[in-house]
Amino acid sequence: MPPRPHFLVLTFPFQGHIAPALRLARRLLAAASPDALVTFSTTEAAHARMFPAKQPDGGAAAADEDGGRLEFIPFSDGTAAGYVRSDPNAFNDYVASFHAAGPRSVAAIADALAARGRPVTCVVYTLLLPWAAAVARDRGVPSALYWIQPAAVFSIYHHYFHGHVGAVVAEHCHDPSFVVEFPGLPPQTIGDLPSFLTDSTDPSDMLHSAYITIRDLIDTLDGEGPKATVLVNTCQEMEVGALAAMGAYDVLPVGPVLPSGDESGIFKPEDDAEYMEWLDAKPANSVVYVSFGSLASMGREQLEELLLGLEESGRPYLCVIRKDVKVALAEEEAEMHGRVKNGVVVEWCDQVQVLSHAAVGCFVTHCGWNSVLESVAIGVPMVCVPRISDQRMNAQLVVHEWRVGVRAQVDGGGVLRAAEVRRCVDEVMGNSEAAAELRQMAGKWKGIVAEATEKGGSSDRNLMAFVDGARSDF
């Protein structure tokens, strides 16, 4: 008897990686045959934060769902506490440990699963794990990269690391207005390229390891034959040109991959009763929702300007200020809450639930890809405040390709000022023709995404094709 289809889904231990990977894991379970298995694996520290109630002794016990068909088993990153921000080189040191310990630990997990009668038949991995393909290859099973950023960003990386305009980008990296061109994309300024290509190429940069890892990832894909498989968390209709420029690989847009129910993660939402009841009392399309994601830090000056701008907008707002940000600004917390007159501040929330509420009319976002996809799929226009990595490119797509948002400008010190917050919120939520067009386009793209992800849609067909292909490959 052939083995049951068994997908091992591996991801880096950041919330922005865990969320789309876990969503795909559940989609794979639903799309594959009724006896299919999925094992989801991230690092021990992240796993412990995902399932604290299941680990009273602080250990890394496995959890499972759906009668054991979806199992959670952590791998080692060579550290006890995972990534901890401590000094400027902390991330680079962590990634070195991650790449050294991760392959050995994942290989041991795959072997242990086989010994239990649950052999892995396909490995799916996210973008900072180039070594996962070798673990799969050593065990004679296929692998697929799950690209959790837009196809446009993948296309830029692919062409850059194959010698396209690399020298030009390096020469003009300090000129954000300089224009470069990549196949399948409209002309881009240096300032809108992924920050790892403009800010992190120097070995002394605090995120240099991300640049090196993505370079290694492209090399890994090039070594897969006959063509590496790349699943992309986008849909065909959203990125036609960029997807066409990825012809070197077997590319399958399978997104947006959205939550299918209760979602585990390393951040736990507050009790939603209070903020959802607050939203229930607000008129339709009246509330500004603000969240800058799971990683972005925020200094006192930025927090003051943000809250001032939201108050001056005169609109009710729901603002996420993470617990670690509050701790870092402990002396100002009481003062901060004193400024909040017209809104509610929470440490974390169920973002999809909030965006889906009829009262929410605008999303002020850092433009992480998960947040962008959720907003597009739900039909909420955005104010874009991108910072690093793919976020600047994501903002370009939001503002210029899909026309469902506006770009906020920060000052020379990188601070989003109160007047700019107010201006952008008014531009999105006001009564002008431009605001009406943004809302109209948001509704249009909501419909396009719904059609792509429903049964028989383009993304659904691609996911089914991947599942069928993985089964036949093994």
Catalytic residues: 17
User: What 3-state DSSP class applies to 181?
Assistant: coil
| Strands 250-253 and 37-41, sheet pairing | unpaired
CA–CA distance, 56 with 430 (Å, rounded to integer): 50
**For residue 16, what are the β-bridge partners?**
none
Which of 335-369 are b and which e, b meaning 16 or more Cβ less than 10 Å from the residue's Cβ? Answer: ebeebeeebebbebbbbbebbebebbbbbbbbbbb
The side-by-side arrangement of strands in the sheet containing 250-253 is 63-65, 70-72, 37-41, 6-10, 122-125, 143-147, 229-232, 250-253
User: What 3-state DSSP class applies to 182?
Assistant: coil
Residue type, position 137, single letter: R
User: What 3-state DSSP class applies to 209?
Assistant: helix
Contact (Cβ atoms closer than 8 angstroms) between residue 195 and residue 153: no
Rounded alpha-carbon distances, angstroms, from residue 397 to 318, 386, 391, 402, 455: 25, 12, 10, 6, 26
**CA-closest candidate to residue 128, choices 50, 22, 207:** 207
DSSP 269-333: PPPHHHHHHHHHTSPTT-EEEEE-TTT----HHHHHHHHHHHHHHTS-EEEE--HHHHHHTGGGH
Task: Work out whether the CA dihedral 167, 170, 172, 176 comes out positive or negative.
Answer: positive
Helices (H), 323-365: 323-328, 333-339, 351-355
Range list of β-strands (E), 128-175: 143-147
- In the chain, how long is the greatest CA-to-CA distance? 67
Q: In the structure encoding, which two tokens stand for residue 174, read together?
A: 């300090």
